[in-house]
Structure 1
Amino acid sequence: MNEKLSLILPCYNEQENVPLIYDALSQLLETLPYDYELLYINDGSSDKTQQEIEKVYQKDPEHVHFVNFSRNFGKESAIYAGLQNASGDYVGLMDVDFQDPPEMIPTMMKAIKEEGYDMVGARRTSRDGEPKIRSFFARLFYKIINKISETEIVDGARDFRIMTRQMVDALLELSEYNRFSKGMFSWVGFKTKYLPYKNRDRMAGTTSWSFSQLLKYSMDGIISFSEFPLTLLSWIGGLSFIASSIALLVIIFRAVFFGNPTSGWPSMIVVLLLIGSILTLSLGIIGKYVGKIFLEVKNRPIYIIKEKK
């Protein structure tokens, strides 16, 4: 009996790409010495994505399966659902828009089988075709998070990867509500290799990721894998206290020895505004952490299934 490869395909408003990725993957996987399944995860799409998934399921029920969410829960939830429902000895994850090259799959499997890797992923070496402002902030994010986090997150790494069953089981033990998969893939460890490739454009449709969503996702990653913002606030508070104490001693010294207690209301207003802004910033950062804790302790399900086949 052949070993089985499961490919998780998260979908959100990808009606054009669903049949295209099926044709490409089924032709490719038929040439490999593995049984396989294509597991579509419909993340509450508002177009005809689910109808297209059902068409390919009816066409090939032996190899195609799907999980249909009750609403849009986000890609992180879709990834987790895929990991939970994949049955293969090896589990892959890739987008359906062809920005993840299907032709890399045989090389990934070869690295796992012959070189002993537990995970083989894809890493973009260029961001051609991507808006420059987005590329700038993406690179900035990786620089920042790798400076402040103990978990290394590879610059340019895509979600596109193939993992052994052992690594998938380890990931499934991380059942937190606030998920950042790029960090989790690194945090669990295991022997990992990244294959470089040049950026590719989408085959059809438009991306559902706006700049603001990517920025929020980056902030979630920093909060999930670093306590540095809280440490920074402690340093800011300590330095502010020292500076305030020195300023107070200077004022007292001047008043005692020179008798020149000027009103100084402009400087007082500036100091108050500075302290107020620091406090507001501090409360905002602490609030983000408290908000994550709030969502975690509710213990709500990460996703809800409407239909599954």
Structure 2
Amino acid sequence: MTHASLTTSPDGTVSPFLSIVVPCFNEQEGIAHLVERCRASAATIFGDDYEVILIDDGSTDNTWDMIREEIGKCAQVTGIRLSRNFGHQIALTAGLAAVKGSVVLVIDADLQDPPELVGPMLQRMRETRADVVYGQRRSRAGEGWFKKKSASLFYRLLERTTDIIIPRDTGDFRLMSRRVADLVARMPERDRFIRGMVASLGFRQVPFVYDRQERFAGRTKYPLRKMVAFATDAFLGYSMVLLRFSSLAALGMFLVLLVVAGYSLYSWMYLEVVPGWTSLMISTILASLFQLVSLSIIGEYVGRIYLSSKERPLFVVDAIERRGHDGGEPAASAGVDPQARPPQGIET
């Protein structure tokens, strides 16, 4: 947490400042109720020490007018209007880049994730000394069979094909410390998968189990086309399983080669075959095997170049402790020794 984002109460204690980040796209019917619930939830815990940041992601309805109306009613409401529709994950990043709070709540505008949970989530963050409390869905009201089953399959496939532990049955609904929000906003990759980016940073991250509610108003902004594109970004960004498909095909081709080679030799020795058939079959499979092996090697190189191009930090420093020169107690520090700091790391 940054000292600039903390406030001091009259009794001298330091209290956190909350930022609520809400990406919005064609949500004109629910903006007023959204802001009302976010403000009430924040004020209960934080008093006036909060802000609600609404990001209009190129809406084609009156979403921006409704946001401006709410800004006129309350000084704690901030509106950000993007020049066009960049997508949910980019809009969320724009909001994270603008936060001032020491803790950040990310929530969708459809109110399927209740803002009233900010109190219990903050309590869990304090009890576990976590940097991230992510909402984990116990149930999903108002969603069809296909949406539930496809989401379940997506998370389980992603879990099996990535080195990073991305929790199952989660969305972007989470409470984060300021340092995590800043790190995510600073990561330069364009095809963003926020929940994967947060998971890749490490720190203590704990679940908060809740029941997801039905959409308050309007229709879902994630049709099948966007769901497929989102899943593709997740797999391409955090898994090399697609690039390694040629390696799996080469392994399968090798097994086929053994079977065909055995059958070809058997036919040559005991059956009547056309002269040259045996050598032609074995030569064809060997050539195919060589091509697939070559593609798998190229795929490994391409995959590593692709992951390097995202410029993710090699490591993230949580804290450094050294014993003071006077022999006193170890001194906690978030800084890094310039002479000992490897390149491309991030200190918090």
If the length of structure 1 is used for normalisation, what is the TM-score? 0.81
Match of 1:261 among 260, 267, 274: 274
**1:55 is the counterpart of 2:69:** yes
Match of 2:129 among 116, 135, 146: 116
Q: Which moved more, 1:128-137 or 1:254-263?
A: 254-263
Q: Which moved more, 1:84-93 or 1:255-264?
A: 255-264
What is residue 302 of structure 1 aligned with on the other side? none
1:249 CA displacement: 5.5
Higher helix share: 1
What is residue 250 of structure 1 aligned with on the other side? 263
Residues 9-56 of structure 1 deviation map (CA, whole Å, 9 limit, x = unaligned): 100000011111111121222222351111011111111001101111
Match of 1:141 among 137, 154, 160: 154
Partner Cα distance (1:128, 1:26) in 2: 24
- The residue type equivalent to 2:157 in the other structure is I
Q: How does 1:184-203 map to 2 (within 5 A)?
A: 184-203=197-216
1:212 CA displacement: 2.7
Gaps of 5+ in 1: 298-309
Q: How does 1:1-309 map to 2 (within 5 A)?
A: 1-2=7-8, 3-33=16-46, 35-60=49-74, 62-244=75-257, 246-248=259-261, 250-251=263-264, 253-255=266-268, 257-261=270-274, 293=306
Aligned residue pairs, count: 279
- The residue type equivalent to 2:227 in the other structure is L
Taking only the aligned residue pairs, the percentage that are identical comes to: 28
Could you say what secondary structure the match of 2:187 adopts? coil
Preserved CA contact (<8 Å) 1:39 1:67: yes
Preserved CA contact (<8 Å) 1:42 1:66: yes
Could you say what secondary structure the match of 1:208 adopts? coil
Preserved CA contact (<8 Å) 2:18 2:46: no
1:234 CA displacement: 0.4
Gaps of 5+ in 2: 1-6, 9-15, 311-348
Partner Cα distance (2:139, 2:275) in 1: 60
Partner Cα distance (2:165, 2:185) in 1: 20
Partner Cα distance (1:24, 1:198) in 2: 17
- The residue type equivalent to 2:233 in the other structure is D
- The residue type equivalent to 1:235 in the other structure is L
If the length of structure 2 is used for normalisation, what is the TM-score? 0.72
Could you say what secondary structure the match of 2:44 adopts? coil
Residues 107-149 of structure 1 deviation map (CA, whole Å, 9 limit, x = unaligned): 1122223431211121111123311112111111111111111
Preserved CA contact (<8 Å) 2:137 2:212: yes
Partner Cα distance (2:42, 2:141) in 1: 29
Partner Cα distance (2:166, 2:149) in 1: 17
Preserved CA contact (<8 Å) 2:20 2:106: yes
Could you say what secondary structure the match of 2:71 adopts? helix
- The residue type equivalent to 1:227 in the other structure is M
1:180 CA displacement: 0.7
Partner Cα distance (2:190, 2:265) in 1: 53
Residues 141-176 of structure 1 deviation map (CA, whole Å, 9 limit, x = unaligned): 111111111112222212111111122222234221
Partner Cα distance (1:261, 1:252) in 2: 13
Alignment RMSD (CA, Å): 2.9
What is residue 343 of structure 2 aligned with on the other side? none
1:93 CA displacement: 0.5
Residues 209-261 of structure 1 deviation map (CA, whole Å, 9 limit, x = unaligned): 11232122112211211112223320212321442364255335524653323
Tell me which of the two structures has the higher relative contact order, counting C-alpha pairs closer than 8 angstroms and 6 or more residues apart. 1
Partner Cα distance (1:127, 1:23) in 2: 23
1:263 CA displacement: 12
C-alpha spacing 1:96/1:251, structure 2 compared with 1 (3 Å):
same
Partner Cα distance (1:39, 1:155) in 2: 27
- The residue type equivalent to 1:46 in the other structure is T
Partner Cα distance (1:40, 1:78) in 2: 10
